[in-house]
Structure 1
């Protein structure tokens, strides 16, 4: 059986430093605060993080376990959405409310509806939209 070697095509100078587990745990704690501001249920939060609700509740109570690469990407994108909303809206409450408001860019669905599709790409879609709206491209 042949062992496949991972080929890195991105030059070293342009590679992002990987998020450490300690950093991911800090981002998770920040995401818990954000989920509270967004008024998410535990089921919704678990869907955004692609984990069973029982695991989410345990992590919420005891602190996160090992956060996967996908989990770190989800957390990073959620924080990017939060940052973009804080830039776009001078009043934080308007940004928190925007998550649940229907939007023509999403065919009348809310950003939360889109993100609850459960895929990382659903969260990334909302982030890309907000980054474009705030001129982040």
Structure 2
């Protein structure tokens, strides 16, 4: 059984498509959640507005592992909220509401998620547990 490795051209094409799809989904999520520029940059782990605008114009060939992980958690959070709250407006508003659950300590989910990649993971795990996914 002799399998050929995919050509570099195919791999690069798939990475580009993944980057583009992930960022497109993020920008739609950001619109649904009514996120401002700073909130979007924090969630993406960006410091430079120039990078943000470049990504919005055209996705890079390859996103960092950190960015891909952030996108994965954000999309998982979005999905979990859509499952937990059948009304999309309620689901989208949840991220900005103060939360008294011990994980949040009175912060909104958005405030918590903006702190770090680990906090993004914790919010996703919390929501997955709430919907019984674990």
TM-score for the superposition, normalised by structure 2 = 0.83
Pair 1:74-2:97 in alignment = no
> Which residue in 2 is equivalent to 1:12?
none
Find runs of 4+ consecutive structure 1 residues off by over 6 angstroms: none
Matches within 5 A, 1:41-56: 41-51=36-46, 52-56=48-52
TM-score, scaled relative to structure 1: 0.81
Return the offset for 1:31.
0.6
Q: Which runs of 5+ in 2 are unaligned?
A: 1-13
14, 24, 29: which one aligns with 2:19: 24
Alpha-carbon separation, structure 2, partners of 1:83 and 1:122:
17
Contact persistence 1:81–1:130 (CA under 8 A) = yes
**Aligned CA-pair RMSD:** 1.3
The aligned length equals 117
Gaps of 5+ in 1: 1-18
Provide the secondary structure at the position in 2 that maps to 1:136.
coil
